[in-house]
A and B are shown apart, each in its own frame.
Chain A
Amino acid sequence: MNMVVCVKRVPDTAESEVHIDSSGKGIETGKLSFRMNDADNYAVEEAILIKEKIGGTVNVISIGDEKSDEQIRMALAKGGDEAVRITDPALEGSDGFALAKALAAAVKGMEYDLVLTGALADDDGCAVVGVALAELLGVPHAAYVKKVEVLEDGKRIKVGRELEGGLMEFLEMDLPAVLTIQTGINEPRYASFKGIKAAAKKEIAVKSVADLGLDPSEVGEAGSWAVLESFSYPVVGEKAEILEGDPAETAAKLAAILKEKGLV
């Protein structure tokens, strides 16, 4: 099974303040740490699990600047074989459609049976790239996949999609196909020391948009469906009453409130 996994480097914003930058369309990234997109980490693991089970190759692709090599090398260290990084200033401002076009151009040049992406990116949360990519490649897709089983003939797969309420929808599909992988499908491994050392030596092929046979106008803002005009801070309704004091004090205040409400 020849597989391609798409990974994205994203800022870790779950525990940090997010500040809009002076352009009004970006955020200040100086104090943020970056990591592999959560769902992509599961997609990488799923590809490696399939490779370990039935054999094959895992090609890693990422769109981003050279800093994305950190995430690419992590995927290689865990068991990826080869890697491509698509880097081009023309990609600035791309939405999911424009990114899918760049990925499709790269994937078309590879031999593939299965393309895996994350179910969505933690930064923009669009959940567009994987399914758009499938349509551009002209192959079937399934989104929010939380179970993958390669069927005996190796030409079909059975997948489980996770729907609202945790209901699983099972379907069978022809290969080649694109799956968007949901978190929790497996237990992503840690890279071994040996794997990290080997990955450090691997070459990452860097491609521009032109290398992929695309015109710069097909990507970036010009090639996108939608452009981000501005960010704003969300209007929150009434905010929680914040209890002040050291942990002993806040705990005592909260306990008293719970008692008053008849909850203790």
Chain B
Amino acid sequence: MKDIFVLMEHRRGELREVSLELLSGAAGLGGTVVAVLLGSGADDFAAKAAGLADKVLYVDDPMFENYNAEAYQKALSALIKEHGPGLVLMGHTGHGVDLAPALAVELGAPLVTDITGLEMDGDKPKPVRQYYGGKLDAHMVLKDADLYILTVREATFQAAEPSKSGEVVKVANPVSEDISYRKFVEYVEPEVGEVDITQSALLVGVGRGIREDKNLPLLEELASALGADLAASRAVVDAGWLPADRQVGISGKTVKPKLYLAVGISGAFQHVTGMKGSEFIVAINKDPDAPIFGIAQVGIVDDLLKVVPALTEKIKELKG
């Protein structure tokens, strides 16, 4: 079997967890696992990758201090042409999504994105991915090719304990020209709000199911009866009903409260990623098939506009 390239993803001095997950997942596929690290003074990442890879290809150049699609695409396509792997894996992240389709078009390599499961048929991947916000699994068949590219959803594989000591091979930067049309400027942290929901013991998560912001007071009353803070899905933040610092999920916060009460939230994986570590999860949703019921311990299938006021009353009664 041909080699498997796994792209190491790092940001602001940290090797991202998805890189280790992918190295661990690739180990079960059969080929030689090659970690590809484009970095600047990133010897510590190379060492970390070596613990889970058979080999580390490390390009050390200031060009790669911060992710840049142009620089990454040029370097990766050159390395791929030189070394001829049969499969390239990268995270389905803000980086992978920005890079993989352009690289795939350039190299003529079939690409499947956001995969959640993977088996191999010889050199050919047989990926599974989700459709319709997680309501269906799709089994994909790729065209025959010499090279395939996959972007893998975070947490599809579990990062294993380091068990290898792959050779770290420093290679010269294959990109000789300047990066011309796309320039990294800066990172800007999201604004900090008045409540830090990552510290809240009890959270009421509000979803698009509330329909209109005029229904928000119902949720505020429930939260105040419980002594909980309000959190939100992205849909609620996008609509401007609650501020961005309340957003739970992949592009918001990761929370682990004692109670997460999801109200009118469908349970898209981008949301679930941020709250699945909560100790006790309750969902109120009128759709019995909503994916949120797959991770909640207790659920109520009903209209939230009826259940929430009733629940607020009962909590008040119990508290006396």
Choose from A18, A125, A227, A250 the contact partner of B302 (Cβ within 8 Å): A250
Q: How far in angstroms is the closest Cβ of chain B from A217?
A: 12
- Shortest CB-to-CB span from A57 to chain B, Å, is 24
Can you name 20 extra interface pairs (CB under 8 A) apart from A163-B93, A254-B300?
Answer: A11-B132, A15-B286, A18-B132, A18-B289, A123-B132, A131-B100, A136-B105, A144-B97, A162-B94, A164-B250, A167-B11, A168-B187, A171-B183, A237-B295, A240-B283, A247-B302, A250-B300, A250-B310, A255-B311, A255-B318
- Beta-carbon contact of B141 and A135 below 8 Å: no
Is B132 within 8 A of A161, CB to CB?
A: no
Interface size counted on chain A using CB atoms at 8 A = 81
22 A-B pairs in the complex with CB atoms less than 8 angstroms apart: A96-B101, A122-B132, A125-B114, A125-B129, A129-B101, A131-B98, A131-B100, A132-B104, A158-B185, A160-B188, A167-B187, A167-B189, A169-B67, A169-B187, A170-B188, A225-B104, A225-B112, A227-B143, A231-B136, A237-B294, A240-B293, A240-B299
- A214 lies within 8 A of chain B by Cβ: no
In the complex, chain B residues 283-320 whose Cβ is within 8 Å of any chain A Cβ: 283, 286-289, 291, 293-303, 306-307, 310-311, 313-315, 317-319
Q: Which of B250, B283, B306 contacts A247 (CB 8 A)?
A: B306
B113 within 8 A of A: yes
On whether A135 and B298 interact (CB within 8 A), knowing A143-B94, A227-B141, the answer reads no
Q: Which of B20-28, B52-60, B251-259 contacts A (4 or more CB under 8 A)?
A: B251-259
Q: CA of A141 to CA of B288 in the docked complex: distance in angstroms? A: 40
B220-262 CB mask vs A (1 if < 8 Å, else 0) is 0000001000000011011010001001001111000011000
Chain A residue contacts of B266, Cβ below 8 A: 14-15
Q: Mark A181-203, 1 if CB is under 8 A from B, else 0.
A: 00110010000000000000000
**Partner among B11, B102, B240, B296 whose Cβ is within 8 Å of the Cβ of A187:** B240
The A interface, classified by DSSP as helix, strand, loop or mixed, is mixed
Contact between B69 and A242 (Cβ–Cβ < 8 Å)?
no
| In the complex, chain A residues whose CB is within 8 Å of the CB of B81 | none
Tell whether B111 is near chain A: CB-to-CB under 8 Å. Answer: yes
With contact pairs A17-B289, A168-B187 given, residues A128 and B113 touching in the complex (Cβ less than 8 Å): yes
A217 to B131, CA, bound (A): 25
The minimal Cβ–Cβ distance linking B267 to chain A, given in whole angstroms, is: 10
| Interface residues of B, count at CB 8 A | 98
> From residue A156, how far is it (CB to closest CB) to chain B in Å?
9
Q: Could you give, for residues 228-253 of chain A, a 1 whenever the CB lies within 8 Å of some chain B CB and a 0 otherwise? A: 11111110110111110001101110
B195 within 8 A of A: no
- Is the Cβ of A229 less than 8 Å from the Cβ of B139? yes
Contact B136 A251 (CB under 8 A): no
